[in-house]
Amino acid sequence: TDVLGEVTIIGPGAGGCEAGFALLSDMLNIHRLLAG
């Protein structure tokens, strides 16, 4: 969060594991897009 600052995740399914998995999934997808 150094770049984003404070992050709040709320809503259904926003538990620790679910949020962590979603973040990891997003980061991997971004990497794949940038790697070409």
Measured between alpha carbons, how far is residue 7 from residues 31, 32, 34 in Å? Answer: 21, 24, 24
Among candidates 2, 21, 19, 3, which has minimal Cα distance to 11? 19
**pTM score, whole prediction:** 0.56
How far does Cα 16 stand from its chain's mean position? 11
pLDDT in tens, 1-36: 578 889 887 777 667 888 888 889 999 999 999 998
pLDDT at 27: 95
Q: Which residues, 6+ apart, have CB-to-CB distance to 9 below 8 Å?
A: 19
